[in-house]
Amino acid sequence: MNMSEYVIGIDIGGTKLATVVADKNAKILNKIRRPTESNKGPEFAIQTLFEMIYETIEDVNIKKQDISGIGVSCGGPLDTKTGIVYSPPNLPGWDAYPLKNRLENEFNIQSVIENDANASALAEYRFGGGKGYDIVLYMTMSTGIGGGIVINGEIYHGTNDSAGEVGHQILLPNGPLCGCGKRGCLEALCSGPSIARRAKETVENYPESLILTLVNGDIDSIKSEHVFEAAKQEDEVALKLVDVTAYYMGWGIANLVNILNPDIVLLGTIAIAAGDLLLDPIRKTVSDLAMIRPAEVVRIMPAKLGESLGDMAAISLVI
């Protein structure tokens, strides 16, 4: 008789905290969301999480001893062995914060802490677009470009949990400044804000672009969505901007394909929304720039889990 039929997943973001209870088949039974209020620091967040977990357990009417593990998806850097979080950019004050210990001391349940890109990669491997593939590279494509590598079912951590920083491969050392402090990282060229930045610069010279119409002429409110929306309506400026983005993404992915030789590369948020409009020129660039053998096997696809990714990321660590 297996008493521990449930797991808890925790998704810690810079703006939102979420806790879920799931059964061993990865079915989410309950979910609670609260704002992180990240300016209040880690102690506020941890107390909020404790409350949320007690509440979610009560909601589904189970006991603490029915829970076999707590999986936590959190911004890195962090140490998966000690469960200590080291000053993630989106969580001010989480400086060497012993997240795993705090959770285990409170609940006395084994907890697994993982950076969100890695946990997402595992979730895609187990429940999403990576199902059935041995080597899965997952790349977020939203405010930043993170990455997670799953090899034969295991997250590839590297030596100190820093592997998979695929968004910080440098393509243009004299290119735009990246959030990491370097220049011309893939992230500084293809993240949502980077696409928007390039669009703002471009429409200054092409005020007739539909992109500007979509924001009622307010250039400052251009987001990457507007670029893809205008491109779908065949705005030439937007199509060119999509091509530039796809070229840089394709170049970066070609390098990763040569190094990692994955079965599949799954691209998150922006690629899911943009679809083949973005993916097709990315695929073409990868096929142009990568070596023949790794290029001929790799699939480049949108990630599948969408809205549920954060929850699935957290629970995939303990199911």
The binding site for its own copies (CB under 8 A) comprises 77, 86, 134-135, 147, 151, 156-166, 168-170, 173, 180, 182, 251, 254-256, 258-263, 289-291, 293-294, 297-298
Residue 213 CA to residue 209 CA, distance in Å, equals 7
Distance in Å, CB of 265 to its own copies, minimum: 11
- Measured from the CB atom, the residue of 84 and 312 that comes closer to its own copies is 84
Nearer to its own copies, 27 or 173 (CB): 173
Instruction: Determine the residue type at 286.
Output: V
Nearer to its own copies, 124 or 165 (CB): 165
**Cβ distance 168 to 160 under 8 Å?**
no
Angle CA 181–227–91, to nearest 5: 35
When the beta carbons of 194 and 209 are compared against its own copies, the nearer one is 194
Task: Find the shortest distance in angstroms from Cβ 11 to its own copies.
Answer: 22
Query: Is beta strand 16-23 parallel, antiparallel or unpaired with respect to 84-86?
Result: unpaired
CB of 140 to its own copies, least distance (A): 15
Q: How far is the CB of 28 from its own copies (least distance, A)?
A: 32
Q: Which is nearer to its own copies, 169 or 308 (CB)?
A: 169
Question: Quick count: other Cβ atoms within 10 Å of Cβ 105?
Answer: 10
Least separation, in Å, of the C-beta of 276 and its own copies?
A: 23
Give the whole-angstrom CA distance, residue 291 versus residue 254.
8
The residue (of 105 and 160) whose beta carbon lies closer to its own copies is 160
How many H helices and E strands in the chain?
A: 12, 13
- Centre a 10 Å sphere on the Cβ of residue 235 and count the other Cβ atoms it contains: 23
Beta strand pairing status for 67-74 and 6-12? parallel
| C-alpha span between 45 and 39 (Å, rounded) | 10
Spatial CA neighbour of 32 closest among 1, 54, 3, 65 = 54
Output the smallest distance, CB 93 to its own copies, in A.
19
Q: In the structure encoding, which two tokens stand for residue 107, read together?
A: 């609940």
